[in-house]
Amino acid sequence: MADWKNPPRLFIPGPVKVDEDVLQQLARPTLGHRGKEYSQLHGETVDMLKKILFTGQNVFLSTSSASGIWEAAIRNCVGLDEVVLCTCCGAFSDKWADVARSCGRNVEELRVDWGLATTAEMIDEKLASGKYAAVTLVYNETSTGLTNPVYQISEMMKQKYPDVLVFVDAVSAMVGLPLHFDDLGWDVTFASVQKAFAIPPGFAVAAVSNRALEKSKNVPGRGYYFDFQQFAKAAAKSQTPTTPSIPHVVALNFQCKKLLTEGMENVWQRHKEMGDYVRVWAKGHFDIFCEEKYASNTLTTVKNTQGVNVAEIISAVQKKHNTIFGNGYGKLKEQTFRVAHMGDITLDDLKELLTWIEEELS
């Protein structure tokens, strides 16, 4: 059983550290989800999220983890006779392709080796065939610690393929990395709150374009729980289709206020400073797993060039300092390890953690 008086400090790339004042928000008395107070809370939260995501379009609140929205994007916006191009550059982007297939859709993959980015040129080459209705992208691949050049990709798509829908998993990017939803011309993007929003897991945020919402009307078999039409109908009343996790909405409202007070440019800059710091450290002791110009500002996947026993170091740091960082994900286990630097993690937190890792190296 966990020691609740002395909880572990988390540097895994989700769930990340949650500050005490955020935890307090989750402990507030509950509201009725069809009452005026909830609608006010919901409406205010959505308005703030629109500012955070730079959108005048739809923002939906989902009581699910982000994986639910992987499925929602596909089931709502890809017809059974259409083909979706799934770009694959690591464990999470691979998984989304699996999810699309399990929704019975026609999937084609555009694969690069883990650690490489998916570029605008690669996508352009595939889309030139004219056979794809939509593309899936992962903004920030949490397995390889890589940020795809989504701004360049989106610019190319807007110019050459304006009719192809763009779905972007921004789970470990949203808040930590720039995201101008309307300017980018995206159709669906989403994140769960246990990443850079720094809230306990169990809730997700999605932005959906007006054209994606319009298209979904005519896509059969959308199901119920993740039906965008149901979300839109409820959103018109500042509600959700089913009973939401109200404590999460309260915490999200609290975090959004903090983010807007700080200013998104400053929030992104803060993440960049943490990323720069961890990258310098990583290169001093090991190396960065992915190509450095694509290295993420929300987490670093460190390449284990020293051949150290990662699991042993993680367990030693946990034992001595009650602090946990991440082993490599999936097939990158032991070949890499991962340090999150997102949300309410600070540079001081990171300095402490990295010193402790160093102590285990010597």
Ligand X SMILES: *Cc1c(COP(=O)(O)O)cnc(C)c1O
Q: Which residues bind ligand X (CB under 6 A)?
A: 14, 65-67, 92, 138, 142, 169, 171-172, 192
| Residue 312 beta carbon to ligand X: minimum distance, rounded to whole angstroms | 25
Q: What contacts 30, CB < 8 A, 6 or more positions away?
A: 246, 247
Q: Tell me whether residue 96 or residue 231 sits nearer to ligand X (CB atom).
A: 96
Q: State whether residue 106 is helix, strand or coil.
A: strand
- What's the closest the beta carbon of residue 97 comes to ligand X, in angstroms? 12
Per residue in 190-202, is it b (16+ CB within 10 Å) or e — as a string?
Answer: bbbbbbbbbbbbb
Q: Are strands 58-62 and 204-208 parallel, antiparallel or unpaired?
A: antiparallel
Nearer CB in complex with ligand X: 172/239? 172
Distances (CA, A) of 253 to 193, 250, 273: 12, 5, 26
Nearer to ligand X, 67 or 335 (CB): 67
Q: Which is nearer to ligand X, 112 or 260 (CB)?
A: 112
Instruction: Evaluate whether 157 touches 164 at the Cβ level (below 8 Å).
Output: yes
Query: Are the C-beta atoms of residues 188 and 206 closer than 8 Å to each other?
Result: yes
CB of 67 to ligand X, least distance (A): 3
Residue 163 C-beta: closest distance to ligand X, Å: 26
Minimum distance, C-beta of residue 194 to ligand X, in the bound complex (Å): 6
Instruction: Compute the distance between CA of residue 125 and CA of residue 333 in angstroms, rounded to an integer.
Output: 33
Q: What tokens appear for 54 in the block? A: 């730079």
With respect to ligand X, which residue has the nearer C-beta, 172 or 238? 172
Chain centroid to CA 301? 16
Q: Which is nearer to ligand X, 127 or 146 (CB)?
A: 146
Give the Cα separation of 210 and 188 in Å (integer). Answer: 10
Contacts 24+ apart (CB under 8 A), 22-27: 22/198, 22/199, 22/251, 22/254, 22/255, 22/344, 23/200, 25/247, 25/250, 25/251, 25/253, 25/254, 26/199, 26/200, 26/247, 26/248, 26/250, 26/251, 27/247
- The answer, yes or no, to whether the previous bond of 15 is cis (omega within 30 of 0) is yes
φ, ψ of residue 74 to 5 degrees: the values are -70, -50
Nearer to ligand X, 169 or 187 (CB): 169
Strands 188-192 and 140-141: unpaired
Residue number with CB closer to ligand X (172 or 255) = 172
